Amino acid sequence: MSAYRNIFSLNKTAFFLATAILPLGSVYAQTIPSLKDTFKKDFGIGTALNNAQIDERDPKMTEFIVSQFNMATPENIMKSALIHPGWDTYNFEMADKLVAFGKKHNIKINGHTLIWHSQLPPFIRGIKSADSIRTFFTEHIKTVAGRYDGKVLSWDVVNEALNEDGTMRKSVFLQYLGDDFVTEAFRLAQQAAPKTELYYNDYNNEQPAKRAGCIELIKKIKAAGVRIDGVGIQGHWHVGKVPLKDIEESILQYLALGVKVMFTELDIEVLPRNFQGADVGQRMTANAQSNPYPEALPDSVQQQLAADYEALFKLFLKHKDKVTRVTFWGVNDANSWLNNWPIRGRTSYPLLFDRNNQPKPAFEKVIALKK
């Protein structure tokens, strides 16, 4: 067992003495290598934050986040359903707290997301005219992006606008605004937030067909004279099936378009699933086989997860001159959305830290790449 993990094996008395002497939370910070420091010369290391973490309700968790990550993306609070709940109503409370959290702890914030077909405000369902959809679309981007210009590093301007075959998803925006809505979203964001980087974000856009559609989308935006600074590959993959060749080819092809490349929502699913990707609309039926590891992850799966993360980070390091950020979708396994999707109540283990913020074998493998 690595030396930095031994602290968690101390008996209760020794651990109490250690935490009594050291500042709150510093046991974690001083005994576990820092991801952000390990890769500080390579790329940013980010995480997704939930409301409790943004609110700093647990000082030890805050200390841990600050020790490990130098970038952060909000899980939900900047999605339109929450930040724009009524036609003329905005709720900036939690988003403002996130910006303050980033400033306080020297963590760069990625805004997520301005335009997405999911998690829309309820009032959108009652709109039946293109003029009203366009008004919402325009005012939402101008108001939200404008408020945080210069306060966030970047925005996921449009999220998940493509189908798996690379065609445009049949969203409310495509229906009422046509297939130029993505270009228009970037045009509006460029006007409202000139000091903010602008990204397109999607899952499975490392797969050849969807990648081709994403490339055409980027070319179309650029051909219109509109700024797009980067493309986010979400990175929701499955243990033992990480598509390393497709990922590498995507890095190279996106870079050739003159945009930055980042991995924006990284996690590796270890539970059974009958489809690939991250379409929140998809669901599976719970059964006896769907939650196979309720108490702990078997060592064989744990080692495969570690091997997958090691291979991924080898690839990221190979292209560190091209990859600007790697963001994990959650701080630890307890925070992962995969505990509740596509089946609620499962116990998932997709990240580098377990439910107590202790490093897993995958973490050790990733850190060892820089030794």
What local confidence, expressed as pLDDT, does residue 187 receive? 98
Q: Name the band, by pLDDT with cuts 50, 70 and 90, for residue 30.
A: low
- Nearest alpha-carbon partner for 348 in 236, 198, 199: 236
Burial 40-53 (b: 16+ CB within 10 A, else e): eebbbbbbbbeeeb
Q: pLDDT digit string (tens) for 55-114?
A: 999 999 999 999 999 999 999 999 999 999 999 999 999 999 999 999 999 999 999 999
Q: pLDDT digit string (tens) for 131-174?
A: 999 999 999 999 999 999 999 999 999 999 999 999 999 999 99
- Nearest alpha-carbon partner for 211 in 266, 156, 177, 166: 166
Concatenated DSSP letters of 57-89: -SHHHHHHHHHH-SEEEESSTTSHHHH--BTTB
pLDDT of 124 higher than 50:
yes
Q: Which of 63, 75, 197, 265 is catalytic?
A: 265
Burial 190-220 (b: 16+ CB within 10 A, else e): bebbeebbbbbbbbbbbbeebbebbbebbee
265 is catalytic: yes
Task: Indicate the CATH number for domain 31-271+284-368.
Answer: 3.20.20.80
Rounded-to-integer distance, Cα 314 and Cα 130, Å: 47
pLDDT of 29 higher than 90:
no
- Nearest alpha-carbon partner for 292 in 361, 354, 236, 343: 343
Q: Where are the domains of the chain?
A: 31-271+284-368
Say if CB 291 and CB 271 are below 8 A apart: yes
Q: Which of 160, 197, 269, 364 is catalytic?
A: 160
Distances in whole angstroms, Cα of residue 58 to Cα of each of 24, 61, 62, 65, 74: 11, 5, 6, 11, 17
Concatenated DSSP letters of 178-192: -TTHHHHHHHHHHHH
- Nearest alpha-carbon partner for 73 in 42, 41, 50, 106: 50
pLDDT of 18 higher than 90:
no
Say if CB 160 and CB 169 are below 8 A apart: yes
Contacts of 30 (CB under 8 A, 6+ apart): 22
How much of the chain exceeds pLDDT 90, in percent? 84
Concatenated DSSP letters of 164-222: TTSSBP--HHHHHH-TTHHHHHHHHHHHH-TTSEEEEEESSTTSHHHHHHHHHHHHHHH
